[in-house]
Amino acid sequence: MTLLTTNNPAARPGEAAGAVHGASYRDPAGFVFTRGGVLYRQVNLAGREDYDLLMSSGLYQTLANAGDMVTHEEVDRSISPDGRAYQVLQPARVRFVSYPYEWSFSQLKDAALLTLRLQKTAMERGMSLKDATPYNVVFENGRPVLIDTLSFERLKPGTPWVAYRQFCQLFLAPLALMSRVDIRLGSLLRAHLDGVPLDLASALLPLRTRLTPGLLIHVHLHGASERRAARKPPTIGAAPPKPQVGSNAVRALVDSLERTVRSLQWTPAGTVWADYYEGTNYTDVAFEQKRQIVDAAIERLAPATVWDLGANDGTFSRLASRRGITTLAFDIDPAAVEKNYRQVVKTQDRHLVPLLLDLTNPSTACGWAHRERDSLVDRGPADLALALALVHHLAIAHNVPLGRIAEHFATLARALVIEFVPKSDSQVQRMLATREDVFTEYRQEAFEQAFSAWFRIEDAIPVRDSQRTVYVMRRHAG
Amino acid sequence: MGKAQAGWTFVALLVLMSTWAAPAEAYVDPGSASYAFQVIAGMALGAMFLVRTYWSRLVAGIRSLVSRDAAHNE
Q: Provide the greatest CA pair distance for chain B.
A: 70
* Identity of residue A106: S
**Cβ contact, residue pair B34, A232, below 8 Å:** no
Cα within 13 Å of Cα(B63), Cβ side: 6
- Over the stretch A214-228, which tens digit does the pLDDT of each residue have? 999 999 999 999 888
What contacts A40, CB < 8 A, 6 or more positions away?
A18, A32, A33, A34, A75, A79, A88, A89, A90, A91
List Cβ<8 Å contacts ≥24 apart for A428-432.
Answer: A428/A392, A428/A396, A431/A392, A431/A393, A431/A396, A431/A397, A432/A396
Order across the sheet with A326-331: list the strands.
A352-356, A326-331, A305-309, A384-387, A415-420, A469-475, A455-462
Q: By CB neighbour count within 10 A (0-12 exposed, 13-18 middle, 19+ buried), where does A175 fall? A: buried
- A225 — contact with chain B (CB < 8 Å)? yes
Residue A12 pLDDT greater than 90, yes or no: no
Does the pLDDT value for residue A62 go beyond 80?
yes
Quote the percentage of chain A above a pLDDT of 70. 91
Residue A166 has phi, psi (to 5 degrees) of -60, -40
Hey, where are the domains in chain A? 15-91, 100-230+245-263, 276-475
Q: Cα–Cα distance between B64 and B58 in angstroms, integer?
A: 10
Q: Which of B33, B19, B34, B16 is nearest to A232 (CA)?
A: B33
> What are the strands, taking DSSP E only, across A63-188?
72-75, 85-91, 127-129, 137-140, 143-146, 152-154
- In this predicted structure, the answer to whether residue A414 has a pLDDT above a threshold of 70 is yes
Write the CA distances from A94 to A30, A354, A384, integer angstroms. Answer: 19, 16, 19
Q: What is the pLDDT of residue B50?
A: 82
Yes or no: say if A303 and A317 are a contact pair by the CB < 8 Å rule: no
**CATH number of A276-475, picked from 3.40.50.150, 3.40.50.1860, 3.40.50.360, 3.40.980.10:** 3.40.50.150
Give the distance from residue B44's alpha carbon to the nearest chain A alpha carbon, in angstroms. 8
3-state secondary structure of A440: coil
Instruction: Report chain B residues whose CB lies below 8 A from the CB of A252.
Output: 42, 45-46, 48-49
Cross-strand partners of A144: A139
Summarize the confidence of residues B5-25 as an average pLDDT.
47
Is pLDDT at A3 greater than 50 in this prediction?
Answer: no
CB within 8 Å: A232 and B38: no
Handedness of CA A340, A336, A392, A288 (dihedral sign): positive
pLDDT confidence tier of residue B29, bands split at 50, 70 and 90: very low
Q: What is the mean pLDDT of residues A406-424?
A: 97
- Three-class SS of residue A302? coil
Q: Does A156 reach chain B within 8 Å, measured CB to CB?
A: no
Confirm or reject contact between A242 and chain B (CB < 8 A): yes
Confidence at residue A472, expressed as pLDDT on a 0 to 100 scale: 98
Query: Residue A209 phi/psi, 5° resolution?
Result: -70, -15
Residue A334 near residue A457, CB atoms below 8 Å: no
In chain B, the residue whose alpha carbon lies closest to the alpha carbon of A216 is B10
For chain A, percent helix, then strand, then coil, each to nearest 5?
A: 45, 20, 40
